[in-house]
Structure 1
């Protein structure tokens, strides 16, 4: 999931500390409700340490019943690359079946497009969902997703 819309009102803030703007604070819970209605229940949520991504993860978690304190913050999701994100995914514990990552563009769109040509853009607060017929997360690097879905607040 790409973080919700962030504010650029205070140019003195370091990039990591940029908060969500009003639209972001509306879109994230709305997307969380939409995910909850679809029965999305991740076993693990991993977020970039940037405030806008972590806040998005917390707002989504609240709507889908995931414990806020269980969100894992991973430095590798901030200022990464598609290869770096894929390395995080491939290193996930194989006992986990459903995982959500929260981060940034352009990396998230680039990775989503690499996994499926169907996705060419991830607007703010978009969720790209991939289902793989795989026994290990490391297999994701080599196979095509069995199912791809993109959802965004304006859909």
Structure 2
């Protein structure tokens, strides 16, 4: 599993990567296969690769290399593993974290106000969504009734004309 990706890092599709790197989409796929064959790890959504900035840099390195692609791919895999090992440290709260919060009451107050506002906005959005769903259910029910009436009228019309 990749650990070299930053939180909230932008993800790119193959098409976006192709445009960014200046190569065709099938070439992005080909380079991705070469990298994977040599041990490179991509984020995936099913079978589809999801690219981040470091992946784009790897594709650019493959595009611009004079060496055999597999040799460059192995170098890139090595670099990826080094980045992963460097970011392998798990961030944990140090014991005095909560004590330090008391030293910064204004920051804590700001954080709590922000969270409170976000919670209120979320609740408001939920109420609106519930109302919207209720309106949709009513509309669907009316459409079903209208469909039934129209179907019945068509059936009656067909019987009258065939007699």
* TM-score interval (norm. to shorter): under 0.3
The normalised TM-score by structure 1 is 0.22
More helix as a share of residues: 2
Which structure has the larger Rg?
2
The normalised TM-score by structure 2 is 0.21
Highest relative contact order (Cα 8 Å, sep 6+), 1 or 2? 1
More strand as a share of residues: 1
